[in-house]
Amino acid sequence: MAQSLRALEPLDTSGRITYFVSEGLPDSRYRASDRDLATWALEAWQRSLDGAVRFESVPEEDALISVHWVPAEDGLYGEMQPLIVNGRRGAAVYIRPDIRGLGPDLDARASSDPLFRDTIVYLTCVHELGHALGLEHTDDVRDIMFFFGYGGDIPRFFGRYRDQITNRRDIARTSGISPADVARVRALYPRH
């Protein structure tokens, strides 16, 4: 049984960190290939943690972290809700893969460049999973945990990552996580 929490804190690593990636809800503009993007985001955090944490895919009822693809909502593109799952700190992550909600400029670019669309969905997964791991927002635009409420050039934020990849498989190898993000997450999950 899951219940809500209010504060961000690290996941309970007393056991393996299990996850589940759902199928998209109707009207979410989910693509089956988006599952890869969520999995690659988890793998990026796992690599950043250099062995301190291992993620394992399980059925939804056993997952500490669950990723859900939901329809667009006013101004929100991703969201994380901390939970207690079977007595352990977990999280539900909600991703809205409908680029139209980000405005006509980003939507037009994503429509003409599938890798740009995947960049936005992937980086949103990385960001929200960072919250699931217990990370707060930063005001440094170089960080994946950067909060757009501080301002900044949103197309440039995503474009900087898009410029690093030439095909979809590059996403699996290009984390998008800054050295500062890595330092913060390693402080939460030190190697034993």
Lowest-pLDDT range, 9-13, 55-59, 97-101, 157-161? 9-13
Reported residue count of the chain is 192
- Report how far residue 40's alpha carbon sits from residue 172's, in angstroms, rounded to the nearest whole number: 5
The whole model's pTM is what?
Answer: 0.93
What's the whole-number average pLDDT of the chain?
91
Q: Is 103 left (phi over 0), alpha (psi -120 to 50) or beta?
A: left
Beta bridge partner(s), residue 138: 146
| CB burial string 109-119: b at 16+ within 10 A, e below | bbeeeebbbbb
Non-local (6+) Cβ contacts of 36 within 8 A are: 171, 172
Per-residue pLDDT of 27-84, as tens digits, reads: 899 999 999 999 999 999 999 999 889 999 999 999 999 999 999 875 578 999 999 8
pLDDT category, 102, cuts 50, 70, 90? Answer: confident
Non-local (6+) Cβ contacts of 42 within 8 A are: 19, 55, 65, 129
Per-residue pLDDT of 165-181, as tens digits, reads: 999 999 999 999 999 99
The class of domain 2-188 in CATH terms is alpha beta
Q: Would you kindly state where each structural domain of the chain is located, as residue ranges?
A: 2-188
Non-local (6+) Cβ contacts of 151 within 8 A are: none
